A and B are shown apart, each in its own frame.
Chain A
Amino acid sequence: AQSVTQLGSHVSVSEGALVLLRCNYSSSVPPYLFWYVQYPNQGLQLLLKYTSAATLVKGINGFEAEFKKSETSFHLTKPSAHMSDAAEYFCAVSEGAAGNKLTFGGGTRVLVKP
């Protein structure tokens, strides 16, 4: 069975500072990994995904994530936080077979201080 753990339910960063959101997964097969962002009362928007190609994945809005198999991690980073990055972020894993469901982590709420 697959599972996802996001360390830290809340992260506070200053505008212009590094954003680091942690995600660890467990999967019985090579995983497909995703990061989504959710703004209040909205659905989820895909930031980036890892699908067994390059281990360093670049996404939208300046975010990137690195897949580390040895650490079973897929941490999300952004070099310089912007006020518009304040939102909820979800890491998710799929075990990849056609139509397989996504399993989500508990989410991390990011607060950006001016």
Chain B
Amino acid sequence: GAVVSQHPSRVICKSGTSVKIECRSLDFQATTMFWYRQFPKQSLMLMATSNEGSKATYEQGVEKDKFLINHASLTLSTLTVTSAHPEDSSFYICSARQGGVYGYTFGSGTRLTVV
């Protein structure tokens, strides 16, 4: 079946530094990937939709200059949290859309802690 690999699974960084999270579709091509943020005991909030070869579409209220998304190939999308602050600490999850009957496959998530 479709597999999405997300790396790293956990990262701790200092306030003011940047962190890159990778999302790879391992056995299929994903023209569209999605990035979500999940706070403890809450649902997933869509941050942005990433399309291969074009600029990401950000949801209202998401700072595009802070959360940089790059979808350079059909199997890789990256999310960079720039100048991270403690309030950016969260669980970030990517999802890749596989063609056909609307299959969305999720990565295993990245726990970001900014200290």
Among A21-29, A77-85, A98-106, the one that faces the other chain is A98-106
- How many A-B contacts are there with CB distance less than 8 Å? 53
- Of chain A, the residue at the smallest CB distance from B45 is A104
Q: Shortest CB–CB separation between residue B26 and chain A, in angstroms?
A: 14
Q: Shortest CB–CB separation between residue A69 and chain B, in angstroms?
A: 18
Assess whether A102 is in contact with B101, with CB atoms less than 8 Å apart.
no
User: B95-115: which residues lie under 8 A (CB-CB) from chain A?
Assistant: 95, 97, 101-109, 111
Q: How far is the CA of A99 from the CA of B99 in the complex (A)?
A: 9
Given contacts A90-B43, A99-B31, A101-B34, contact A45 B106 (CB under 8 A): yes
Which size bracket describes the interface of B in this complex? 20 to 34
Q: Shortest CB–CB separation between residue A72 and chain B, in angstroms?
A: 19
In the complex, which of the residues A41, A51, A103 contacts B109, with contact meaning CB atoms closer than 8 Å? A41
Assess whether A102 is in contact with B109, with CB atoms less than 8 Å apart.
no
Assess whether A99 is in contact with B51, with CB atoms less than 8 Å apart.
yes
Q: How far is the CA of A105 from the CA of B45 in the complex (A)?
A: 10
Task: Please tell me if A62 contacts chain B, counting CB pairs below 8 Å.
Answer: no
CB-CB contacts of B32-54 with A at 8 A, as 1s and 0s?
10100000011110100101000
* B contact set with A: CB distance below 8 Å: 4, 6, 31-32, 34, 41-44, 46, 49, 51, 91, 93, 95, 97, 101-109, 111
